[in-house]
């Protein structure tokens, strides 16, 4: 497999999970009944959580889509791909660190460690692609 194809496949895998996680997260508050944990006397907190979740979910979808467009597109360059992959790596590294320090899904070890494994794989896909991009002279 050529390095160009490897980068494309790694980004496609990471981006598919990012987009999937983002789309899934749009529905999480309803499925997990998030707002039932918030006191009825704090409706502004419901709005804040809703806004943060929408922003987070949309960000994941957009980052995933833009990464695919940059890596698979014919008009992007090494610099733009590298910058966007670096930003994506920072996001996923942050999520991975949060999962290590304050794990979610701790009531179910399969969920907790499944999330940890997924976040690690996504970060590795993006980080390896970034390393390949920055360590060579041109993207074909």
pLDDT in tens, 101-123: 999 988 899 999 999 999 999 99
**Residue 70 in this model has a pLDDT that exceeds 70:** yes
pLDDT in tens, 33-52: 989 999 999 999 999 999 99
**CA–CA separation, 47 and 24 (whole Å):** 19
Provide the 8-state DSSP code for 75.
S
Q: 5, 139 in Cβ contact below 8 A?
A: no
Q: Can you give the residue ranges of every domain in the chain?
A: 3-134
| CA distance between the termini of the chain | 14
**Residue 140 in this model has a pLDDT that exceeds 50:** no
pLDDT of residue 138: 54
Q: 3-class SS at 105? A: coil
What mean pLDDT value characterizes the chain? 94
Percent of the chain with pLDDT over 90: 91
pLDDT of residue 32: 86
pLDDT of residue 106: 83
């Amino acid at each position: 497999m050529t390095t160009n194809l490897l980068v494309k496949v790694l980004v496609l895998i990471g981006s598919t999970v990012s987009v999937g996680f983002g789309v899934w997260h749009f529905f999480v508050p309803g499925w997990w009944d998030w707002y039932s944990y918030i006191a009825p006397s704090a409706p502004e907190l419901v709005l804040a959580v809703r806004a943060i979740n929408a922003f987070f979910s949309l960000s994941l979808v957009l980052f995933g889509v833009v990464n695919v467009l940059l890596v698979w597109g014919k008009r992007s360059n090494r610099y733009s791909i590298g910058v966007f992959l670096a930003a994506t790596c920072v996001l996923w590294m942050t999520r991975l660190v949060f999962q290590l320090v304050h794990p979610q899904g701790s009531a179910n070890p399969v969920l907790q460690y499944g999330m940890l494994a997924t976040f690690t794989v996504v970060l590795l896909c993006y980080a390896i692609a970034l390393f390949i991009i920055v360590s060579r002279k041109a993207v074909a």
